[in-house]
Every structure is written in C-alpha cells, then in structure tokens.
Structure 1
Amino acid sequence: MRTALVGDIGGTNARFALWRDQRLEAVRVLPTIDYARPEEAIRAYLADVGHGVQELQAVCLACAGPVSGDIFSFTNNHWSLSRRAFCADLGLSDLLLINDFSAMALGMTRLRKGELIDICEGQPEPDRARLVIGPGTGLGVATLLPLKNGAWHALPGEGGHVCLPIGTPREAALWAILHRKRGHVNAEAILSGGGLLELYRTSCELDGREPQLTTPAEVTAAALAGEPYAAAVLEQFCTWLGRIAGDNVLTTGARGGVYVVGGIVPRFAEFFIRSGFSRSLRDKGDMSRYFDDIPVWLVTAQYPGLEGAGVALQQALEGTSAG
C-alpha cells in the first residue's frame, strides 16, 4: 500500500490521517464549512502533509448519516458526494464509505490505557454486543459485535433520531414545549451540542425565566461553576442520555458494555460521574436488574473515529468484517 487515507467527517469538523502499518499518522482537523466538497478538503489535507493525490491507493471515509448507494448527503453539514465522481476525481478504484458511528464503534477496539473512565462497574460478557453512544453535533449510536475470527462487526444505525423518552412529569412538560415548536421530538433535539442550549431555553420557558446564557459552552461553564439553574439543566441532559442509553442496551442486548463517546461529555466528566446518568440508565422497571453487571465507560481518546476508519479499511483489505 503506497498511501492510505482515513477520514472521520462530522457535522462541524473533518478529521483526516494517513493509515500506515495499522497506525495513524499526520492527523489534521479541517472545518467542513471552509470547503465546498470533501474532495477539496482532502486535496488541502494532502498538500499540507506533503503528499500528492496520485499517491493515494485506498481511502476510507466515516461519514455522519446513513450510507447506501452512490450518492451520499451528509446529515449535519452542507457536503455531499458521489462515490463514482469522488473516485474519478482522486484517481481511485474504490472508496470505502462507512457510517461515522460504525467507525466510532470500531475505534473502541483500539483504545489504550488511560483512555477510559469507569462510570458503572461491571463485568463485560465477551461474546455479547457492546453499545457505543455519544452526543456531538448530533447524537450517534452504534452496536459493536465480536466475531469468532477475532475481527469486529459494527452495526450502523440512526438511534439518535428515535423519539425522546419521557420518564417524569417535568420531562413530559419539557417535551410538550418542544413538540409545540418542532413537531416530532427526537433524542438528538436535546442530546447534542445545540440540544443542550435548546434544553436550557425550553427549561427557562417552562419555568418562566428569561434566558441569560446564549451558547452550549456558556451553559456548561455556568453549571460547572455551580450556578444552580444551569447545573439542573446539565443534570437533565445527563439523565436523558441515560434513558436513551438504557433503551438501546435493552434493544440490542449490549451486555458487553456501554461506551459513552464524543467531544461533549468528557468536558464535564466529573459532573457526569455524579449525575443521574447511571440511575436513569437502569430505571427500567422490571428489567432494572438486567443492568447490574453491565460496565459503562466514558471514552476520552482523541481520535477514536479515525482509528475505527483505519480498522474498517484494514479489515476490508484483509477480507474480514468491519461493518
């Protein structure tokens, strides 16, 4: 292999790296808004790291959204691509395109010491599914399956778009306001970067308060500084994330463990550990004991999506399953 390129493209940023000897090299992060098409971003990346387009032999892109067919439109940014046109432009014979949370799931197989924080203690069942979930620009959800040949299969999905669950009268009141504004209320309406601000504004409307904070970062900073109202909003955010994670565990039978990923939650890790996440995860009535031995980890790795794209490319080249 001359040069393999991997990318992890979300709603805000595109992360690129070279993949050599099953390792990442020359990682760069490019804002998607700065480029009209992914091909332009890749050319800029290659120029920055001193490689020509003609050196590319294999490319794997992990992209936010459902992946199928020739045309792919990104869920949370303005990019789209045609596999055929992409390959023709860059001189490739093929493009491996996978869901971004499939890549994130595969990245869990590459975690190193110090890149996990224990949230719930437990004993993972080695032959069972693992859940990967995390808020970012949207809410990503994927399932990781161990295979008998030692490889891994990642099941993509759009679990961030399931209906937001209601577990308390206050959550019902918040949902009613959201429904009035937007109709269908999915999970990532709240469980995302922009969703945290939406939750703050909706809470203020419910409580007859004038919003004082204008960005998700301000809400988080105020909560961590001990401002009671912002802290209550962030607590509700964590509680809702637990409800969704628990629903997904029951649906997929993820007794291999739960990975909480993405760039948002690690910013308030200590708050998250103390929050109602673990309680709401298990709050499933007669099935609450199902969660007794399921471990939950908060992932702090810097580029797990890129690592997962590399795993997917490696497994594709070797003829094993990647998802």
Structure 2
Amino acid sequence: MSARVLIGDLGGTNLRLALTDGDGLRSECVFKTAELAGLEAALEAFLEPIPAPERPKSAIVAVAGPVSGDRIRLTNCPWQFSRDAVRERFGWARFGLMNDFAAVAAALPHFADDHLDAVQTGIEVARRPKLVLGPGTGLGVGVAVPSGEDWHVLDGEGGHATLAASNGEEAELIALLRRRLGHVSAEDVLSGPGLVNIFAAIAERDGLDLDPATGEEVVERLDKEGCPAAQEALDRFACFLGTVAGNAALTAGARGGVYLAGGVLQNLGARFRADLFRAAFNAKGRMSAYLETVPVYRITHPEPGLFGLQALARG
C-alpha cells in the first residue's frame, strides 16, 4: 500500500483502527476502551508490530463526542487526550479529528445496495442531503450534503436534543424518566442504556420489581420469558426512533435518504419493529406525505465508520 493513513473509529465501547491508502484496509484491529488507559496506549499497541518505515505519516480519527479545540473528551467513555500531544508523539504531519457519526455520514454516498436493507421504500432525490442516526452506546447523528461534485459532512450532537412525546403514553414515560434523569434527551432512550431506561420507566409505571442492567438483558427477558414489559420497551424504542428520525429528516431536508446504524439495531435484528418505526417516522401531520417519499435504510456494512474514513482518506 502507498500513502498509508491510519484511520480510527473511537466509540464509547470499542476503538477500531486500520491502515488505508483509500482503496482498502490493512492491519484492522478492535480494542475495548474499558481494557486500555486511553487512545495513546491503544495506538502504541496497534503500531508496535508495524516496521518503522511502514508506519503512517498521518491519521484521521472519529470520536464519539464533540470535536473542538485541543483537548478531546468522549461523551460515554472516560478517555480524553490532547490532539497536539498525540500528533507530536507519533510524528504525524496531519492528525484529523471528527465526530464519529460525521465519519459514518461520509460513507453514505458510497454504500452499495448490498450494504443496505430497506425499512421504507421511497424515492431517493439525487444530490440532496443524506441523514444517519445510530443508537449504540449513545445516539450518533450525522448529515452528508452535496458540495459541487463532492459531499460535505456535518457533525453535531443531535442525540442530546430534548426528547418529544407523540402521545399521552409516551408523555407518561418521559415524565417518569425526567424524575430520575432531569433532562431527557433522545439518547436517553435511543441507546443501549436508553433501552434499559425505557424498561425501567415501564416497570415503575406498572409497579413491577424488574431491574435489568443492560439492553442485552432486556432482550433476553423477551426471548427467554416472553416478558410483556420487555416487548413494550422494544416497541417504544422503535416508536421513539421513528419520531426522532422523522424530526431530523424534516430539519435536514433529507430527501436523499435516512440511514439507521448502531450496535443496538444490530443486536435487535429482526426484533426491531420496522412497522412501528415507519408509523412514527411519517406521523408529521401536513408533512406526512413528504416523509412517506423519503427512503429509509438499515446499514448492514460491518464497519460503516471505517468505510467513511476510508473514503475521506481517498479524497
């Protein structure tokens, strides 16, 4: 490979690293953030077996949190680091940083059909904004907008927008969550911990002595016990995701498509209620007809963040 660039996708749970020349990946490796002291320790472990002449001269890393200034702090992980210190330690001429879902947004114009499963058929409008949302450790949001013959990615913290209720039942659950959490954001229900929050609110409402610690345990209760509270939690999750995605699609004018990613949807698999998602996504009064024409996809590519970073390295 020539012109190697180190690319990294740093989320709340995992750090994925690889080398690329823009057309392929080499030395791909996954680290658990809980098992290492920080980014520099992970980079040392990744680069150690690579001969010095073959080490990258530049890097692009996507992080799950706001990117501003020199000091970077992740939202759902205790890691923090200095951009300048990392660049100087590894001798990189360039060290690019971006939000992790800006990296996924960079991949949206490049996905092949076999990287996507349709959630809602629609009419994709060429050269219009594309939106991605991803419930995982947190809730990532990114947008790709056309810029001349290319695409420009916008990052932000849309996952922390205030969660809205679409009906009285949702309002009741949000009120219960507000008593425990204070501000209730979209991420507080649309993430792994968010699935636990929904379940806990349902259990409190119904006077149930149930207290799962993880989203995986909520799913296990459904699979092993047919737990009605777990089923409702998954149904509410799909509805909340549809509402949030529909709001974001209207804001971004995402006629180029809405894309769903994230580890929670991967873990749910066929349990994800696409029908409830669609109903909530399109329930926008006078704008319902507008949203019904917007195609929605689930991303099936195993590494959408690295795929987007690879595209950026190529450019």
Q: Is the 8 A contact 2:138 2:187 kept in 1?
A: yes
Residue number in structure 2 paired with 1:17: 18
How many Å separate the matches in 2 of 1:38 and 1:156?
A: 21
Q: Is the 8 A contact 1:178 1:185 kept in 2?
A: yes
Residue number in structure 2 paired with 1:320: none
Q: Is the 8 A contact 1:96 1:313 kept in 2?
A: no
- Cα deviation digits, residues 178-203 of structure 1 (max 9, x gap): 11112111110111001101110111
**Runs of 5+ consecutive residues of structure 2 not aligned to the other structure:** none
Residue number in structure 1 paired with 2:279: 279
- 3-state secondary structure, aligned to 1:95: strand
Q: Is the 8 A contact 1:46 1:53 kept in 2?
A: no
> Cα distance, 1:213 vs. partner?
3.5
- 3-state secondary structure, aligned to 1:276: helix
Q: Is the 8 A contact 1:224 1:271 kept in 2?
A: no
Residue number in structure 2 paired with 1:189: 188
- Cα deviation digits, residues 266-289 of structure 1 (max 9, x gap): 222323254410000011112111
How many Å separate the matches in 1 of 2:157 and 2:227?
A: 34
How many Å separate the matches in 2 of 1:275 and 1:222?
A: 22
Change in Cα spacing, 1:274 to 1:98, as seen in structure 2 (3 Å) is: closer
Identity of aligned residues (%): 38
- 3-state secondary structure, aligned to 1:245: helix
Instruction: Show structure 1 runs of 4+ deviating over 6 A.
Output: none
> Cα distance, 1:38 vs. partner?
0.7
Return the letter of the residue paired with 2:183: H
- 3-state secondary structure, aligned to 1:85: helix
Residue number in structure 2 paired with 1:162: 161
Q: Is the 8 A contact 1:28 1:45 kept in 2?
A: yes
Q: Is the 8 A contact 2:22 2:312 kept in 1?
A: no
Q: Does 1:46 align with 2:20?
A: no
> Cα distance, 1:73 vs. partner?
1.1
Q: Does 1:126 align with 2:126?
A: yes
> Cα distance, 1:32 vs. partner?
1.2
Residue number in structure 1 paired with 2:38: 37
> Cα distance, 1:209 vs. partner?
1.1
Q: Is the 8 A contact 2:200 2:211 kept in 1?
A: no
Q: Provide the aligned length of Structure 1 versus Structure 2.
A: 313
> Cα distance, 1:301 vs. partner?
0.8
- Cα deviation digits, residues 89-147 of structure 1 (max 9, x gap): 11112211111000011122332342211100011101211110010010011111123
How many Å separate the matches in 2 of 1:83 and 1:180?
A: 38
> Cα distance, 1:221 vs. partner?
3.0
Residue number in structure 1 paired with 2:294: 294
Q: Is the 8 A contact 1:224 1:268 kept in 2?
A: no
Change in Cα spacing, 1:146 to 1:223, as seen in structure 2 (3 Å) is: farther
Q: CA RMSD in A?
A: 1.7
Residue number in structure 1 paired with 2:235: 235
How many Å separate the matches in 2 of 1:224 and 1:117?
A: 24
> Cα distance, 1:2 vs. partner?
4.5
Change in Cα spacing, 1:2 to 1:127, as seen in structure 2 (3 Å) is: closer
> Cα distance, 1:158 vs. partner?
0.6
Residue number in structure 1 paired with 2:99: 99
Q: Is the 8 A contact 1:142 1:156 kept in 2?
A: yes
> Cα distance, 1:3 vs. partner?
2.9
Change in Cα spacing, 1:137 to 1:221, as seen in structure 2 (3 Å) is: same
Return the letter of the residue paired with 1:205: E
- Report which stretch shifted further, 116-125 or 262-271: 262-271
Residue number in structure 2 paired with 1:70: 70
Return the letter of the residue paired with 2:10: I
How many Å separate the matches in 2 of 1:95 and 1:297?
A: 32
TM-score by length of 2: 0.94
Q: Is the 8 A contact 2:238 2:274 kept in 1?
A: no
Change in Cα spacing, 1:120 to 1:83, as seen in structure 2 (3 Å) is: same
**Runs of 5+ consecutive residues of structure 1 not aligned to the other structure:** 316-323
Residue number in structure 2 paired with 1:220: 219
TM-score by length of 1: 0.92
Residue number in structure 1 paired with 2:304: 304
> Cα distance, 1:168 vs. partner?
1.2
Return the letter of the residue paired with 1:130: K
- Report which stretch shifted further, 289-298 or 33-42: 33-42
How many Å separate the matches in 2 of 1:14 and 1:117?
A: 25
> Cα distance, 1:312 vs. partner?
2.2
- Report which stretch shifted further, 239-248 or 65-74: 65-74
Q: Is the 8 A contact 2:130 2:255 kept in 1?
A: yes
Q: Is the 8 A contact 2:106 2:311 kept in 1?
A: yes
- Report which stretch shifted further, 119-128 or 15-24: 15-24
